[in-house]
Amino acid sequence: MSDSTTREAPSEAKLGGDAPAVAADPTPTPATAGERSPGADGAAKSPSSEPPSPSESNDGAGAAATTDAKGDEPPEADPAAAAPPDEPARSEVRMRLFGRTDVGQVREHNEDNFIVADLTRGTRGLMEADRNQLVSERGALLGVCDGMGGAAAGEVASQLAVDIIFQKMLQGDVPETHDDLAVRLVQSIEAAGVRIFSEAKLDRARRGMGTTATLAALLDDHLFLGQVGDSRGYILRGDRLVQVTRDQSLVNQLIEAGQLTEEEAETFEHNNIILQALGTADTVQVDLTFVELKHGDTLMLCSDGLSGMVRNDEIREILRTVDDPLEACKLLTDRANQAGGHDNITVVVAKFEGDLQPPTKQEVESLKYRKYELPEPPPSTPTAAEASRRIKGLDEPKVSGRPGPRSAGPRMSDPRIEVRESTYDVGDDDDGHGGGRNQDDSIQIPTEGAPSWLVTMMIMGAVACVVVAGYFLLRP
């Protein structure tokens, strides 16, 4: 990815040795030379809210426990009416996690960003409460974005992506089903792509900026992963490390087509070409996959600065032997730097515990990349991708379909300007109002306001043309 101009970010602290790490201190200070924190992800954020109102005291419980003045027992309540509605049983999932980003050994600036968020509390960052989460009703969000574009544009794109996706995931009601969370994740990623694309069109210096996005949203034991680009998501289950996302890159397309082997891909000269990214077009195709989590599973999200420098066997061994996510992130970024550190390095590690069932041998062996099919959206609810197609290009002038009065024509920003897209003529009726004549109706020659002599000359000229043409055609 291209270099960019770095910005001030939350402070960092060394986690042992000489390798800097992202710290939980939310006090904004300039970043160290070798590494920066993930922008807004380094500090917890909590939306302001009013304290919950006290529960109603008159709920009928006291009346049910007493008798009336005559000593009679009160009538029994209807059990069907008092029973709470059926709710799906959900596992209590706990996770320990950490995230870390490093500039690497070659790049001057870090264009990567990551996010770790508790959607129920509405906070994000690496405070202690965020690093040890009980997954609640709204779920949790983790993600890695690898920016590109140069001149600080890559950093802007990746920061916009994590910010917008976080905001969109907080909107709406509590997800009632897994489908609700999956749809919200896809629509949030699509919305981020539309926003980045619009920002790039508004600022010529940021033309072409974009970012990869690998986001994981968790609700009870269902982990959904939304993928755009070539950042990756892995699951370690038992002794198996499985990539549960699919790279949207040229080299992966060649591998799947059988034109390139895994060994040849490591030295392929075009292995940095990706097929799509957020912000490079007005729409993206989000690849949605899922994993049913088991007790002891470990999730790792990373940019290609890690997966392209460290072999899978080394990654598997670190995740398997190191229990602390903070220490695992540190070791992984150190290995990538030792291997050359050719790109920015970003990694998020989460370990899942709680009421999850331990995996069986078959569940360990059957773990693989699995697509998740979303339900069909209702016709009246367009997706973010469909809505973006309706947005008029920002570089195109606004043109009125109906001209205003010449004496006092409205300016281009006037709300009276209308754009009409129909198969009907736009004209004036006899009473001066906008006409709605169908194009299939007979065509009326506009004679109103024309001099009578001009109309006469036009008619005589047409008759003369007919006479002359008939003379030459009918003469022997």
Please tell me the distance from the alpha carbon of residue 121 to that of residue 348, in angstroms, as a whole number. Answer: 20
Backbone angles phi, psi at 166, to 5 degrees: -60, -45
Closest CA to 247 of 293, 312, 302: 302
Predicted confidence at residue 92, as pLDDT, reads: 87
Predicted confidence at residue 411, as pLDDT, reads: 35
Please tell me the distance from the alpha carbon of residue 137 to that of residue 122, in angstroms, as a whole number. Answer: 12
Predicted confidence at residue 152, as pLDDT, reads: 65
Please tell me the distance from the alpha carbon of residue 304 to that of residue 271, in angstroms, as a whole number. Answer: 10
Indicate the SS3 state at residue 247. Answer: coil
DSSP assigned state of 395:
T
Q: CB–CB of 411/425 below 8 Å?
A: no
- Looking at the DSSP bridge assignments, the partners of residue 274 are 249
Predicted model pTM: 0.63
Give the chain's residues under pLDDT 70: 1-90, 150-152, 377-450, 476
Name the residue type at position 379. Answer: P
Q: What is the CATH number of domain 9-42+89-389?
A: 3.60.40.10
Q: CB–CB of 300/233 below 8 Å?
A: yes
Helices (H) then strands (E): counts for the chain: 13, 17
Predicted confidence at residue 78, as pLDDT, reads: 46
Residue ranges covered by each domain of the chain: 9-42+89-389
Please tell me the distance from the alpha carbon of residue 213 to that of residue 146, in angstroms, as a whole number. Answer: 7
Predicted confidence at residue 30, as pLDDT, reads: 38
Predicted confidence at residue 380, as pLDDT, reads: 56
Q: CB–CB of 146/211 below 8 Å?
A: yes
Predicted confidence at residue 112, as pLDDT, reads: 95
**CB-neighbour burial class of residue 255 (10 A; exposed 0-12, middle 13-18, buried 19+):** middle
Closest CA to 307 of 296, 319, 297, 295: 319
Q: CB–CB of 43/123 below 8 Å?
A: no
Predicted confidence at residue 379, as pLDDT, reads: 66
Please tell me the distance from the alpha carbon of residue 475 to that of residue 37, in angstroms, as a whole number. Answer: 94
Token pair 């506009």: residue:
446
